[in-house]
């Protein structure tokens, strides 16, 4: 069942594919579903944080801020 806020769902009308596309440049997603920064010192953008939150809340991904 969807659990992300309506606001977050509205930001990603392309669902998880859109959120993952936002993250593909600076993040990896492991087979375990955990999102990790490619470079530990990288500071995510607000859009990337929204994508992470959306994937965490709506699709049960994990996030390792490492």
DSSP assignment of the chain, as one string? Answer: ---S-HHHHHH-TTHHHHHHHHHTTTEEE-TTSEEEESSTT----HHHHHHHHHHHHHH--EEE--
Tokens of 25: 């440049």
> What's the pTM?
0.94
Mean pLDDT for the stretch of residues 22-35: 97
The share of the chain scoring above pLDDT 90, in percent, equals 95
pLDDT of residue 1: 58
Q: How many domains does the chain divide into? A: 1
Domain span at residue 41?
A: 6-64
User: Would residue 1 count as lying in a domain?
Assistant: no
Is 43 a member of any domain?
A: yes
Q: Grade residue 13 by pLDDT with cuts at 50, 70 and 90.
A: very high
- 47 occurs within a structural domain: yes
- List phi, psi (to 5°) of 26: -115, 0
Q: What percent of the chain has pLDDT over 70?
A: 97
Residue 34 located in a structural domain? yes
pLDDT confidence of residue 66:
86
């Amino acid at each position: 069942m969807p659990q992300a806020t309506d606001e977050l769902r509205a930001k990603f009308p392309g669902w998880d594919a859109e959120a993952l596309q936002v993250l593909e440049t600076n993040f990896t997603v492991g087979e375990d579903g955990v999102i990790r920064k490619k470079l530990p010192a990288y500071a995510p953008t607000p859009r990337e944080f929204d994508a992470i939150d959306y994937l965490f809340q709506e699709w049960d991904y994990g996030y390792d801020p490492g």
